[in-house]
């Protein structure tokens, strides 16, 4: 409180009990902060989290008119070294394609663009988890070790149909992909 009259006095100093209790709180709060930071650092390193570092812009309003995210390019393309690039469009309320097919044990780069609002995607059972913001290309690199099927739901609320927006990722043996360079058509589960 502001002092006006000048007659009020500070509480008697040297109240040992209050000082001790204040010190305990300082220690407790500092320890809590250190613990939380340690948890963030540990989980980031342990699960291989990383912030989206690539800021690559794109015109979200004209994805369908051509370019990298035109319809014929959506899906998986295998490079000569066996690695894969998967291009996906996220829009209300679906991922296109809605089933991604990727090779097991090979580096996979997933590139997503939103055609409308902010979406997110997580590949369950992996550390793949990112937002898809209109105007930017989201790039995630990973390797799926074992063949199998993963759900890939949208995890950013994107409108009334959000809960119905999901895809899946089918991991198959790398040998099942065509390797001849002339067959460079983007594929998804259906093709
Ligand atoms: Cu897209 Cu939620």
- CA of 175 relative to ligand 1 center, distance in Å: 33
Q: How far is the CA of 18 from the centre of ligand 1 (A)?
A: 52
21 sits in which H/E element: helix 16-47
Distance CA 18, CA 107 (A): 60
Least confident interval from 63-77, 91-105, 176-190: 176-190
User: Could you count the other beta carbons within 10 Å of the beta carbon of residue 23?
Assistant: 10
- Per residue in 158-169, pLDDT (tens digit) is 999 999 999 999
31 Cα: distance to centroid of ligand 1 (angstroms): 38
Q: Which atom of ligand 1 is nearest to the CA of 157?
A: 2
Query: Could you tell me if 100 and 73 are in contact, meaning their C-beta atoms sit under 8 angstroms apart?
Result: no
Strands 148-153 vs 136-143: parallel, antiparallel or unpaired = unpaired
What digits encode the pLDDT tens for the residues 119-159?
A: 999 999 998 999 999 999 999 999 999 999 999 999 999 99
Residue nearest to atom 1 of ligand 1 (CA): 119
Task: Output the CA 72–ligand 1 centroid distance in Å.
Answer: 23
User: What rounded mean pLDDT belongs to the chain?
Assistant: 86
Nearest to 116 by CA among 160, 52, 73: 160
Residues whose CB falls within 8 Å of the CB of residue 186, separated by 6 or more in sequence, listed in order: 72, 73, 74, 75, 76, 77, 87
pLDDT of residue 11: 62
pLDDT tens digits for range 75-100? 999 888 888 999 999 999 999 999 99
Cα–ligand 1 centroid distance for 154 (angstroms)? 5
Residues flanking ligand 1, CB < 6 Å? 119, 154, 156-158, 162, 165
Report d(CA 76, CA 155) in Å as an integer.
22
Task: State residue 37 phi and psi, 5-degree precision.
Answer: -65, -40
């Amino acid at each position: 409180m502001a002092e006006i009259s000048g007659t009020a006095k500070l509480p008697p100093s040297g109240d040992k009990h209050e000082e001790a209790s204040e010190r305990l709180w300082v220690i407790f709060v500092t320890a809590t902060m250190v613990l939380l930071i340690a948890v963030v650092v540990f989980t980031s390193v342990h699960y291989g989290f990383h912030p989206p570092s690539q800021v690559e812009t794109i015109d979200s309003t004209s994805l369908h008119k051509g370019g990298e995210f035109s319809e014929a390019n959506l899906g998986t393309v295998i490079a000569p070294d066996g690695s894969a690039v998967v291009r996906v469009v996220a829009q209300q309320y679906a991922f296109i394609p809605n089933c991604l097919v990727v090779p097991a044990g090979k580096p996979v780069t997933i590139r997503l663009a939103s055609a409308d609002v902010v979406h997110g995607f997580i590949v369950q059972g992996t550390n793949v988890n990112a937002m898809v913001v209109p105007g930017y290309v989201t790039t995630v690199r990973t390797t799926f070790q074992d063949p199998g099927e993963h759900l890939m739901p949208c995890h950013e609320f994107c409108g009334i149909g959000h809960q119905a927006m999901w895809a899946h990722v089918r991991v198959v043996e790398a040998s099942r992909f065509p390797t001849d360079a002339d067959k460079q058509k983007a594929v998804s589960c259906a093709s």
